[in-house]
Homo-oligomer: A and B are copies of this chain.
């Protein structure tokens, strides 16, 4: 996917952008880089001088603890700027990793920051994007703290599907989602064994299909109900062609 398409879809899913703004974004200097699965795009503790726009593939952010335990913090797909926070908080407090092979465009902080100053509309929408990132974290906290594992998993699937559908990365009731069960476990804060069993539960109720590559929503209403999923926190822009409450149409 090229820069224009990916970024434009993303930003238009959360706010309005005029052609001028898009053109200005396109004029930013950038360097496209490919990564292999497992590569660290930005390491915990490092000081970053760029933001990274994901063009192809999946990335995730995580923290690794003393005992080797890993907690996934976020999952990203094309159009996302997974380390946008580094623009104003350059020291990484977590790592950004390529979940699959992927391609990304690096934008140096200086010109990007300059652009947010000269074109406040762009600054505002990027700020908004970082605030939505934050809203997702809040929701994860609520899920981790107050929901059993199956419901939490259901919620994760709802969230990923709606986010992908909002930027046109879902086809019908399916989307790509190349994650292992161990990854899911580290996302939900549970063991791999328990992730496996929770997944089976969602399969048994015919809510979803998931084979480690693709996610298929079989019963949106049931899934949403179980997860207590309310897409408000994603703060998607109201659009006539897409209702986050009923992403299957």
- Residue in B closest to A133 when the chains form the complex, CB atoms: B134
**Which among A3-11, A86-94, A202-210, A211-219 touches the partner chain?**
A86-94
Majority SS at the chain A contact face = helix
Interface size range on A against B: 35 or more
Query: B73, B85, B127, B138: which contacts A88 (Cβ < 8 A)?
Result: B127
Task: Please report the C-alpha to C-alpha distance between residue A232 and residue B186 in the assembled complex, in whole angstroms.
Answer: 22
A169–chain B nearest beta-carbon distance, Å: 22
Interface bits A118-139 vs B (CB < 8 Å: 1, else 0):
0010011001101111110111
Chain B residue numbers with a CB within 8 Å of A73 are: 138, 141-142
Extra 11 A-B pairs, beta carbons < 8 Å, given A65-B147, A133-B134, A146-B189: A61-B138, A63-B142, A85-B131, A89-B235, A113-B124, A123-B123, A130-B134, A134-B137, A137-B137, A137-B141, A145-B186
A144 contacts B141, CB within 8 Å? yes
Chain B residue numbers with a CB within 8 Å of A123 are: 116-117, 120, 123
A71 interfacial by beta-carbon distance below 8 Å: yes
A77 interfacial by beta-carbon distance below 8 Å: no
Using known A-B contacts A137-B138, A138-B73, determine if residue A235 contacts B91 with beta carbons closer than 8 Å.
yes
- Residue in B closest to A92 when the chains form the complex, CB atoms: B232
Closest 4 CB pairs of A and B: A145-B189, A137-B137, A93-B233, A134-B134
A188 interfacial by beta-carbon distance below 8 Å: yes
Task: Please report the C-alpha to C-alpha distance between residue A147 and residue B66 in the assembled complex, in whole angstroms.
Answer: 11
